[in-house]
Amino acid sequence: MSVSDTRKQEISSQRDEKFQTRRATVPALEEILYEPIKVLDHGFVRVVDYMGDDAAIVQAARVSYGKGTKQVNQDKGLIFYLMRHWHSTPFEMCEIKFHVKLPMFVARQWIRHRTANVNEYSARYSILSKEFYIPTAENLASQSKSNHQGRDRLLTGDEAKRVLQILSEDSEKCYGHYQEMLNEDAAGNKIDESKDGLARELARMNLTLNYYTEWYWKTDLHNLMHFLRLRADDHAQYEIRVYAEAMIGVLQKWCPLTAEAFEEYRLHNTALSKTGTEIVKRLIKGEKVTQESSGLTKREWAELAATLNI
Amino acid sequence: MSVSDTRKQEISSQRDEKFQTRRATVPALEEILYEPIKVLDHGFVRVVDYMGDDAAIVQAARVSYGKGTKQVNQDKGLIFYLMRHWHSTPFEMCEIKFHVKLPMFVARQWIRHRTANVNEYSARYSILSKEFYIPTAENLASQSKSNHQGRDRLLTGDEAKRVLQILSEDSEKCYGHYQEMLNEDAAGNKIDESKDGLARELARMNLTLNYYTEWYWKTDLHNLMHFLRLRADDHAQYEIRVYAEAMIGVLQKWCPLTAEAFEEYRLHNTALSKTGTEIVKRLIKGEKVTQESSGLTKREWAELAATLNI
Amino acid sequence: MSVSDTRKQEISSQRDEKFQTRRATVPALEEILYEPIKVLDHGFVRVVDYMGDDAAIVQAARVSYGKGTKQVNQDKGLIFYLMRHWHSTPFEMCEIKFHVKLPMFVARQWIRHRTANVNEYSARYSILSKEFYIPTAENLASQSKSNHQGRDRLLTGDEAKRVLQILSEDSEKCYGHYQEMLNEDAAGNKIDESKDGLARELARMNLTLNYYTEWYWKTDLHNLMHFLRLRADDHAQYEIRVYAEAMIGVLQKWCPLTAEAFEEYRLHNTALSKTGTEIVKRLIKGEKVTQESSGLTKREWAELAATLNI
Amino acid sequence: MSVSDTRKQEISSQRDEKFQTRRATVPALEEILYEPIKVLDHGFVRVVDYMGDDAAIVQAARVSYGKGTKQVNQDKGLIFYLMRHWHSTPFEMCEIKFHVKLPMFVARQWIRHRTANVNEYSARYSILSKEFYIPTAENLASQSKSNHQGRDRLLTGDEAKRVLQILSEDSEKCYGHYQEMLNEDAAGNKIDESKDGLARELARMNLTLNYYTEWYWKTDLHNLMHFLRLRADDHAQYEIRVYAEAMIGVLQKWCPLTAEAFEEYRLHNTALSKTGTEIVKRLIKGEKVTQESSGLTKREWAELAATLNI
């Protein structure tokens, strides 16, 4: 993971400071607070701040004066009930703030989730570091034939080698030219005194989309779960899915009851359509149903059959 | 302020608990955490949780690895710069959660601010308490003649007395009928065993709009200031303005530098239109400008003259 | 339905005007444009404007230069695919604007849907009409014993009569006092020349929550369906459900393919939890499953059994 | 402007179709509907649909049953009043949908405006065209010394030439490699039958940020003006400002009264801080004020002096 020693030191100093608070506090999350969790080759997510816990959801649902929680069992029952019936507002009462380092093509997908607060490192104002994403061989997949936006089997041999070579060389070369246009070296000194240097907001356009950017990203628990549901899904691109998976790990530390309800009702659930529901009723009665007699298209039938092991 | 002894006890117990945290912590806000601040006759606002402080704004603006803050002077300079130039995203990185008790006609104005999370006490699920708002004599104003949505001088004598009598009597009577329809007394016992009692979701419609409701209301600092700017304004209805004023007090404890910048650039600022700007330039040059020669309508001219003591 | 003759005339005049446009146009919706659809005793919804149609969804999904649509079958396939896989952004490309007249306690539920634009009739600025909601005998339900926020069997006999009497009399009385405090009759004349009249923003607090208000409400098709899914649900209060049902009728005229997909995947679908999915697999294999062996709570098991006719 | 003949034909066919509607219709906007307006070297904006007009704002503000408009003068007065006093909801009642073609580094700034609906051309699903942005010589500015995120004087001679050479060559080379990795030519045929071709979602990461993307972007009039105010500002990057300027031209055709109010109160207005207001009062009285006696920092004083010609 690309976190320089200076920055590791800054993180470490901040972790060393402790304060007293009356606020809801989660020891398991405090444990990893500020610590980067490695994702991809140079990326990370780290929790920078949080508000609330499982009990805060219960408290908000009850508009309580005190802690609002009762026995763990009752709290769990309520949280599961709220999740099952899409009562989303109590989950909005918890908030979390991440610092994320991610390739720009991942950032462009991520930002589509609008109900969040974002502060991104500005390439108008500052110079981007020379850090770019190169997939590992196990993630170098070919274009899917069946699904226009998916991947298929892995590239091998010379084809794989050539792809990795292109990605590395073009990233290197474009960065070299970025510096040349800026006329500024890594230490911030002019390379050629006779030149002005191109404006940063212009020079950046020569970088490729696998360059890393960074942002602070803050959202509430309800919208976090919405993000995780879509981005931890099999259909999500691998390079964003690994961020979602790291964040599910954070969720389990932060709000364990909610994380459990999330897995039960959102992550590993099944959505049956109206027609799908009728089919399942027939199947349960012992009736034989085929695609032809199901009322579903081939594609939908295949999806249903796979889900229910028909 | 109508907080029952049981509830005072719950609040007090929660205040007694202290935890260790690595998160940004604001001692001045911890001091008043959970404590209700009285507003109107039976209402309150109280801070239930918060995330971030002035330093967190600076940290987000710099996408920092550590605390991100420098000397207080530099931090203040940056916060003032961000506020002046409408760089709003760093302010979105702080979050606050209030518990508010407020009359329903105030709640109906408040809820128009959409960028917030809300959990309201449910009158479908529970029975509302017998608590309603009655204005004090100093706030019993007549309808403004000049401004269709404003107030004018105070009602006096018999007219004032009659208004207060109506408001009290109708509130009392409607609540009595609410209980009768519910067929349930304050202790939750059936009043008449032979009756079923009307559904709560229906019975509530007999209450008047001055009845108090309660909610948890959570928002980020940027949107909080947007709310405060509009609701602490002279044109806002008195009954919501007093809530905004109490919350400005909270803001001053929570993020004092931001509160200062807010007062400088949002609360006591002046917005000059394009034409207004030209007029001010002429005035500064020593030119005499009248409404007729100003290019403004009478109303706009009056507003400008009042603002600039012309 | 309470629409005065003057207003019927205004609506009728607007309906008489026709324009030429290059925009996507839906004849079935033009047919009912501006016409109020009666809901409850004095309420209505009417479509005031719309943007887009089924084809516009397809066009946006393809980021097309022209109409973007192909054969109806292909368009339908794509719309069903988008709905099934929660690709919501193409549905956001259609927009609709309603004028709604509704009781205030319904308005308070409705406004919780934040992703919409709202302009409400202002009781600070204007005087509310004497129009209040009284349930019909068929909707006068008692409080549910099993579900804290539900209804049970109907009230009958004297209890029903008494409820209707209370609701009518209190509504009447409060309105009379509202006018007395305002010191203004229906024609806008002072009632008593010696009095000032209470400010409108204050007087309104004496009205009960069954008084009607009105607003313009505008939202995109994705968020409309989210609203309809929650508010047309059995668990929604009857008084808001009837609005949702009227609006589903509008949706069927506006975007018939989307309406069909909405019914298939949102309105009459079944959500199986992770555990529920496992149970269904066992049932399909012919295994006998009881609540005890299901891993579900009694309540969840009852819900599942009801849904799947087990 | 890079719109192929096929696409010009599609646009032209759509423009040829006319429908009858009862909706608010703006002839001046119909005139340019669907027509691309050229921006930068290969970009454009074109209006794809719209809802409402100046009258619709008035209608919503009045919650009208009919057209709601009165004489033009009164409508203008109301629109100016609403704009001046930040009554934003009536402006939210108009909606517009654009199709935009823009470089990816511009798209990354643009998308930060969250209150909009977006459908972007998917580079996971499809292959991006070979179209990239190269600045003209007049826009090839050096980095500002005084403002970290600004531009300064133009690059000249060999330095300018070299920059343009780098940008063109790297864009060309990266695209060539993109195609090689995809193993697919412009006609969609395999280049080398023995290779699989890298997944599109991966290959795209080799493109530079000056490559063009496209999206449908839909927003309401209030949020459009918020976008335009920030992006037509002098401090905005030139490459996004030209889009904002083209869209202001659209606004003038669509809602001329609103466009006028926007220029008066948002685009060419002056925001005086609390301290700034006091200074202006002193200046108007004829008092001499210097930076030292102003209470402002040097930077703020310079800004004020520039604005008011002091």
Residue C1 has pLDDT above 70, yes or no: no
Q: What is the dihedral of CA D135, D138, D144, D148, to 10 degrees?
A: -40
| Chain D residues within 8 A of C93 when measuring between CB atoms | 97, 117, 119, 216, 218
Q: Does B86 touch chain A (CB under 8 A)?
A: no
Q: How far is A108 from chain C (nearest CA, A)?
A: 15
Q: Does B43 touch chain C (CB under 8 A)?
A: no
| CA B296/CA A161 separation, integer angstroms | 71
Cβ-defined contact of A297 to C230 (cutoff 8 Å): no
Q: Which residues of chain D have pLDDT under 50?
A: none
Q: Does C214 touch chain D (CB under 8 A)?
A: yes
Q: Does C92 touch chain D (CB under 8 A)?
A: yes
**Which residue of chain B has the CA closest to D264?**
B274
| Chain B residues within 8 A of D271 when measuring between CB atoms | 265, 269-272
Q: Does B216 touch chain A (CB under 8 A)?
A: yes
Residue A8 has pLDDT above 70, yes or no: yes
| CA D230/CA D248 separation, integer angstroms | 12
**Which residue of chain A has the CA closest to C276?**
A269
| CA C109/CA A45 separation, integer angstroms | 38
pLDDT at A1: 58
pLDDT at B34: 97
Q: Does D215 touch chain C (CB under 8 A)?
A: yes
| CA D94/CA A272 separation, integer angstroms | 37
Cβ-defined contact of D170 to A173 (cutoff 8 Å): yes
| CA B305/CA C255 separation, integer angstroms | 54
Cβ-defined contact of C265 to A286 (cutoff 8 Å): no
Across all residues in chain A, what is the average pLDDT? 94
pLDDT at B309: 87
Q: How large is the average pLDDT for residues A100-113? A: 97
Q: What is the dihedral of CA C266, B218, C100, C32, to 10 degrees?
A: -40
**Which residue of chain B has the CA closest to D289?**
B284
Residue B18 has pLDDT above 60, yes or no: yes
Cβ-defined contact of C77 to A263 (cutoff 8 Å): no
Residue C146 has pLDDT above 80, yes or no: no
With bands split at pLDDT 50, 70 and 90, how would you rate the model's confidence at C36?
very high
Cβ-defined contact of C21 to D25 (cutoff 8 Å): yes
Cβ atoms C98, C47 nearer than 8 A: yes
Q: Does B209 touch chain C (CB under 8 A)?
A: yes
Cβ-defined contact of C23 to D3 (cutoff 8 Å): no
**CA gyration radius, chain B:** 24
| Chain B residues within 8 A of C140 when measuring between CB atoms | 198, 202
DSSP secondary-structure letter at C133?
A: -
ipTM for the complex shown: 0.95
pLDDT at D28: 98
Nearest CA to B240 out of A93, A62, C205, C207 is that of: C205
Chain Cα centroid distance, residue B197: 36
**Which residue of chain D has the CA closest to B308?**
D281
| Chain A residues within 8 A of B87 when measuring between CB atoms | none
| CA A100/CA C267 separation, integer angstroms | 37
| Catalytic machinery residues of D | 231
- Shortest CB distance from C93 goes to which of D3, D21, D119? D119
| Chain C residues within 8 A of D129 when measuring between CB atoms | none
Q: How large is the average pLDDT for residues B202-206? A: 97
Q: How far is C218 from chain D (nearest CA, A)?
A: 7
Cβ-defined contact of B143 to C200 (cutoff 8 Å): yes
pLDDT at A71: 78
Q: Does D236 touch chain B (CB under 8 A)?
A: no
Cβ atoms D47, D218 nearer than 8 A: no
Chain C neighbors (3+ CB pairs < 8 Å)? A, B, D
Q: How large is the average pLDDT for residues A88-97? A: 97
pLDDT at D66: 86
Cβ-defined contact of B49 to A23 (cutoff 8 Å): yes
List the catalytic residue out of C231, C266, C282, C299. C231
C67-94 per-position pLDDT tens digit: 877 777 889 999 999 999 999 999 999 9
pTM of the model: 0.96
**Which residue of chain A has the CA closest to B4?**
A65
- Interface A–B counts its CB contacts (< 8 A) at 150
Tokens 């026709």 -> residue: C18
| CA D46/CA D36 separation, integer angstroms | 4
Cβ-defined contact of A205 to D206 (cutoff 8 Å): no
| CA D204/CA D212 separation, integer angstroms | 12
D94-136 per-position pLDDT tens digit: 999 999 999 999 999 999 999 999 999 999 989 999 999 999 9
For A150, other C-beta atoms within 10 Å of its C-beta total 18
Backbone φ and ψ for B38, nearest 5 degrees, come out as -65, 135
Cβ-defined contact of B97 to A93 (cutoff 8 Å): yes
Cβ-defined contact of D199 to A133 (cutoff 8 Å): no
pLDDT at B188: 76
Residue A236 has pLDDT above 60, yes or no: yes
Cβ-defined contact of C93 to D117 (cutoff 8 Å): yes
Residue B1 has pLDDT above 90, yes or no: no
pLDDT at D1: 58
Cβ-defined contact of D133 to A205 (cutoff 8 Å): yes
B243-276 per-position pLDDT tens digit: 999 999 999 999 999 999 999 999 999 999 999 9
Q: Does D93 touch chain C (CB under 8 A)?
A: yes
| Chain D residues within 8 A of C17 when measuring between CB atoms | 22
Q: How far is B141 from chain A (nearest CA, A)?
A: 33
| CA D264/CA B117 separation, integer angstroms | 34
**Residue D177: Cβ-neighbour burial (10 angstroms; 0-12, 13-18, 19+):** buried
Cβ-defined contact of A284 to C86 (cutoff 8 Å): no
Q: Does A130 touch chain D (CB under 8 A)?
A: no
- Shortest CB distance from B90 goes to which of A11, A19, A119? A119
Is residue B231 annotated as part of the catalytic site, yes or no?
Answer: yes
Cβ-defined contact of C142 to B196 (cutoff 8 Å): yes
For D259, other C-beta atoms within 10 Å of its C-beta total 21
Longest dimension (CA), chain D: 84
Chain A neighbors (3+ CB pairs < 8 Å)? B, C, D
pLDDT at D158: 93
| Chain C residues within 8 A of D119 when measuring between CB atoms | 60-61, 63, 89-90, 93
Cβ atoms B182, B128 nearer than 8 A: no
List the catalytic residue out of B231, B266, B282, B299. B231
Across all residues in chain B, what is the average pLDDT? 94
Q: Does A114 touch chain D (CB under 8 A)?
A: yes
Higher pLDDT, C310 or A97: A97
Across all residues in chain C, what is the average pLDDT? 94
Q: How far is B181 from chain D (nearest CA, A)?
A: 35
Q: How far is B239 from chain D (nearest CA, A)?
A: 19
With bands split at pLDDT 50, 70 and 90, how would you rate the model's confidence at C185?
confident
Cβ atoms A253, A29 nearer than 8 A: yes
| CA C141/CA C134 separation, integer angstroms | 13
Cβ atoms A133, A40 nearer than 8 A: yes
B39-94 per-position pLDDT tens digit: 999 999 999 999 999 999 999 999 998 887 777 788 999 999 999 999 999 999 99
Longest dimension (CA), chain C: 84
Q: How large is the average pLDDT for residues C43-68? A: 94
Q: How large is the average pLDDT for residues B168-197? A: 92
Q: How far is A196 from chain C (nearest CA, A)?
A: 41
